[in-house]
Amino acid sequence: MKYEEAKDKFISTWGVLGSSWGINKAMAQIHALLWISPEALSMEDIMEELQISRGNTSMNVRQLIDWGIVYKETKAGDRKEYFASEKNVQELARQVAKERSKREIKPVIRILKEVSSIKEDEESEKTKELIKQTKALYELTNSMDKMLDKVVNQEKNWMTKVLMKFIS
């Protein structure tokens, strides 16, 4: 397999996987392209390489920047903005875990806490079971999220490095 075929296959596969991870295909493909690019790419470079519109490119690059895994670069004498991806795999995994927790896990925890805290206004078995099961799920999810927070927020800790290598 030659470089172009391998690159296209990687970007395409990353795009498909992105859908499984809750991000859109274009966002995942842009990230893949920037991740394997040896230098920062302009908006036009990304559009041309992936054959996507300026609006789609702009929106998704902005989201990747919000996730903290893509950043802007400038080149001396050039007015264009360039974009590059975080290259360190452990840092990338740490940042993605942090964002997914914020966007997916923490909202679920809030809902589970609310639902498991309902008043037992009627002593029905249904109410008791709802409270029991949602409280157990809340406690487990909250504990796991706290553990994840400790891992992602302590990148200098040797244990965190070991865990991040294990996770990624």
Q: Are 145 and 106 in contact (CB under 8 A)?
A: yes
Domain CATH code at residue 60: 1.10.10.10
Helix, strand, coil percent content, the chain, rounded in steps of 5: 70, 5, 25
Residue 120: phi and psi, rounded to 5, are: -85, 65
| Model pTM score | 0.74
How many structural domains comprise the chain? 2
Residue 83: Cβ within 10 Å count = 22
78 lies in the same domain as 147: no
Domain that holds residue 112: 89-167
- DSSP string covering 33-50, please? HHHH-SS-EEHHHHHHHH
pLDDT digits (tens, 9 = 90+) for 121-168: 667 888 888 888 999 999 999 998 888 777 777 655 555 566 556 665
77 lies in the same domain as 139: no
pLDDT digits (tens, 9 = 90+) for 9-37: 999 999 988 877 778 999 999 999 999 99
Q: Are 60 and 27 in contact (CB under 8 A)?
A: yes
Residue that terminates a domain, selected from 59, 85, 111: 85
